[in-house]
């Protein structure tokens, strides 16, 4: 599962908001699909640039992730590497494309867990839920130092 980083959480939220506000969405387009929309936020590349990089090899995001090589210098591998540096894992990209990450789905009511991978509204629900989960994980990692009462500054 992804490392909960502020950069990733914010990118997920912006992606969901963009989709809600009518951003281009086309599941069969490598730059305009589920992963493509998140890639736009994390890399600042356009959907057409992402699609162009992806068409240098064959396959959808699942196949591209399977073929990923961190040292290849292929444009899509560099893009995926940037996404991984933001906190994602390769499996997260596969789950996002299919909306089938168990940890994310388990946070939804049972009757809402059957998301369709190519329906904009379902993508928005999945991404919002994932961002909230990662934010909770990030907050759990924050510990504040214990300050004894006598160390506190006295008012006036």
The three-state (H, E, C) secondary structure of the chain, written as one string:
CCCCCHHHHHHHHHHHHHHHCCCCCCCCCCCCCHHHHHHHHHHCCCHHHHHHHHCCCCCCHHHHHHCCCCCCCCHHHHHHHHHHHCCCCHHHHHHHHHCCCHHHHCCCCHHHCCCCCCCHHHHHHHHHHHHHHHHHHHHHHCCCCCCCHHHCCCCC
36-55: per-residue pLDDT in tens?
A: 999 999 999 999 999 999 99
| pTM attached to this predicted model | 0.88
Q: Can you give the pLDDT at residue 153?
A: 57
Give the residue-averaged pLDDT of 86-107: 97
């Amino acid at each position: 599962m992804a490392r909960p980083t502020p950069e990733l959480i914010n990118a997920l939220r912006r992606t969901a908001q963009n989709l809600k506000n009518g951003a281009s969405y086309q599941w069969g387009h490598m730059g305009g699909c589920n992963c493509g929309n998140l890639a736009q936020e994390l890399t600042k590349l356009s959907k057409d640039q992402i699609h162009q990089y992806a068409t240098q090899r064959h396959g959808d995001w699942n196949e591209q992730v399977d073929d990923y090589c961190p040292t290849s210098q292929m444009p899509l591998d560099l893009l995926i590497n940037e996404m991984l540096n933001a906190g994602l894992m390769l499996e997260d990209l596969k789950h996002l494309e299919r909306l089938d990450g168990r940890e994310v789905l388990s946070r939804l009511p049972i009757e809402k867990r059957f998301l369709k991978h190519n329906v904009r509204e379902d993508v928005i629900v999945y991404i919002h839920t994932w961002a909230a989960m990662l934010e909770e994980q990030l907050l759990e990692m924050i510990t504040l130092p214990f300050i004894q009462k006598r160390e506190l500054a006295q008012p006036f």
